[in-house]
Amino acid sequence: MARIIPNENTWVGFATTVADVSAPTAANITAAVDLTGFVISLNASSRGNTVPTPSFASLFETSTAGTSAATFDADFYRDDTGDTAWTTLPRGTRGYFIVARFGSDGAAPGVGDKVEVWPAMVTSRTMANMASNTVLTFTASCAVTEEPDEAATVAA
């Protein structure tokens, strides 16, 4: 069994519109800004909560599914010739992060490919501390504005 690393296997784009979170179109992907070359790290995760449902009839405390939540944060490089990530993601920007993990060979996903679609609004854009002999970076922290689809299929 081989372990998969994200380098050269992941594509990240940002689209201002997506036809359907569960089925973004090839046109949505083509219109998205390709941020792949600027991404350092990505934390896109969802989690569910549980609600306790105990009963006097049992010593075992059961639970049921409750609400869910999601977060999206990413670190990006700054660039002196085409500062694409910085100019695409100012605070307050709304759109959709589209992520093709493990298998895209760094290319934009095509029809039938599996992607994650994260509806988001940039809530902060924080520059990393500056230091000599380091590259400038920033973090975009986002509110996830509707339920993401972590197994969407790109439609024609």
Integer Cα distance of 72 and 20 in angstroms: 19
Q: What is the pTM of this model?
A: 0.89
Q: Are 102 and 6 in contact (CB under 8 A)?
A: yes
Integer Cα distance of 143 and 23 in angstroms: 21
Q: What is the pLDDT of residue 1?
A: 66
**Residue pLDDT, tens place only, 92-132:** 999 999 999 876 676 899 999 999 999 999 999 999 998 89
**Residue pLDDT, tens place only, 51-83:** 999 999 999 999 999 999 999 999 999 998 889
Integer Cα distance of 82 and 65 in angstroms: 45
Q: What is the pLDDT of residue 112?
A: 93
Q: What is the pLDDT of residue 103?
A: 65
**Residue pLDDT, tens place only, 8-37:** 789 999 999 999 999 999 999 999 999 999
Q: Are 6 and 101 in contact (CB under 8 A)?
A: yes
Q: What is the pLDDT of residue 154?
A: 95
Strand partners, 98: 13, 117
CA-to-CA dists, residue 29 to 45, 47, 93, 146, angstroms: 21, 26, 18, 19
Task: Name which residue leads in pLDDT, 86 or 81.
Answer: 86
